[in-house]
Amino acid sequence: MKHAVNFVSLGPGDPELITVKGFKLLRQADVIYCPATLSVGDRINSRAADIVKALDIRPEKIRLFMLPMNRERKAAMESYDALYEKVKDAYAAGLDVSVVAEGDAGFYSSIQYVYDKLIDGGVEVKRIAGIPAFIAASAVAGLHIVKQEERLMVIPGILSAEDLAEKIEQGYVVVVMKLCACREAVLQCMESHPGYAYHYFENIGTDKEYHTDDCELLRKRKFPYFSLMILHK
């Protein structure tokens, strides 16, 4: 085959934060598969497709694949299996195919399942690196995430307040992804350890971007899906 299937990382949300290489591959692609979800009222949302369109990529190239927004993985795997078949068929037809993911496609990205399955199916694939949300978030806040001998730990939002405090006391700067899954644990940590720094971010790189380190504001705030926190002593 002439082309590999390209897994293009879009970055955190700002279209200008995609790499030049990723942008060029999307420009030359025949089809671009973008994840989408259903919101209240069965409205289709795709932040990935919005980013692609903002790059002046022809919209007729875009193909949406639906992902359920819940912790039940069976439905998600069925969606990825269907995507795998579509990508494989497009590749076999000689089309230049890209699959996109927000952030970095190899960092907490479930699209890796399709990437691995294509390899197992004998399809050539390439992944184009991107800027993860927490790196973009640190720039928004002017944070030097780690320096000198400091250590960094990135964890998903499945943890307790005790787990979180333990890592910080061990000297780690902690990045918590999927923050909506552990709101109560974070609030408990704030209560027990008011001296820690809590840098909260949501919707980085979009017009809904928000950042605060004010714990009083955080206690009153709901944490949406696209939220994260950087914590340290």
Q: Which residues of the chain have pLDDT under 70?
A: 1-2, 70-71
pLDDT value of position 71: 67
pLDDT value of position 2: 65
Residue ranges of domains in the chain, CATH in brackets: 5-128 (3.40.1010.10), 133-232 (3.30.950.10)
56-106 per-position pLDDT tens digit: 999 999 999 998 876 677 888 999 999 999 999 999 999 999 999 999 999
Q: Find, among 103, 74, 135, the residue nearest to 8 by Cα.
A: 103
Written as one string, the DSSP assignment of 3-42 is SPEEEEE-BSS-GGGS-HHHHHHHHH-SEEEEEEEEETTT
204-213 per-position pLDDT tens digit: 999 999 999 9
pTM of the model: 0.91
Judge whether 21 and 113 are in contact, CB under 8 Å. no
pLDDT value of position 68: 84
pLDDT value of position 168: 96
DSSP-derived pairing of the beta strands 97-101 and 5-9:
parallel
pLDDT value of position 197: 97
pLDDT value of position 107: 95
User: What CA–CA distance (Å, rounded) separates 5 from 118?
Assistant: 9
CA 180 to chain centre: 14
Burial of 29 per CB tally in 10 Å (0-12, 13-18, 19+): buried
